[in-house]
Amino acid sequence: MKSYVWLTFAFMGWGYYEMSGGADFVPVERVTAAVEVEEPEIVARADTATLLSVSSSNIIAQPETTAAEVEAAVANAVALDTVDVVAPIVEPELDIRQVGSSRVNMRMGPSTNFEVITTLNSGTKLEILSVNEDGWANVSTVDRGIEGWMAERLLTDSDL
């Protein structure tokens, strides 16, 4: 069987050699075109003294900044073609409460028909995301970020 495989392989090799031209084979020379590479055009900034438009949404003033100071900052930004007025980040006040009962179930939805996600101990801090009209609070644990629902009556007042 080995000799049959070798003989078949040799015959196929000889057939390919003869079909591709054998000893008379001459490779085809490929002609390539020469391409001229142009230098890229350098685009410079236009020589203007003023900025054409300044959006007031780009300029946010500090809380104690007066309207005249904001207008002066806009005028300076237009003259300098920059906007450097930095806005303070005002974070909304969070409603943080604690679990008031000894062990409270946090559920997947706003009723006792939903599955329990976890059970929280007394004193666990929660951020109140919303409260529906049925008295269920959508809450998120401050330390672990688990979000769920629990009865608002089981939480302390919001004066933490």
Class for domain 96-154, per CATH?
Answer: mainly beta
- Amino acid at the residue 66: T
pLDDT tens per residue, the chain (160 residues)? Answer: 888 888 998 989 888 888 888 778 777 787 777 777 777 776 666 555 554 554 555 555 455 666 677 677 767 666 555 555 566 777 777 888 899 888 899 999 999 999 999 999 988 999 989 999 999 999 999 888 889 999 989 988 766 5
Query: In angstroms, rounded to a whole number, what is the distance separating the alpha carbons of residues 15 and 9?
Result: 10
Q: For residues 85 and 59, is the Cβ–Cβ distance under 8 A?
A: yes
Place of tokens 């900044």: 65
Q: Please state, in angstroms and rounded to a whole number, the distance separating the CA atoms of residues 83 and 55.
A: 10
Query: Identity (one letter) of the amino acid at 44?
Result: A
Per-residue pLDDT at 109: 92
pLDDT of residue 148: 93
What pLDDT shows up at residue 93? Answer: 78
Residue ranges per structural domain of the chain: 49-90, 96-154
Cβ contacts of 87 within 8 Å, gap of 6 or more = 60, 61, 62
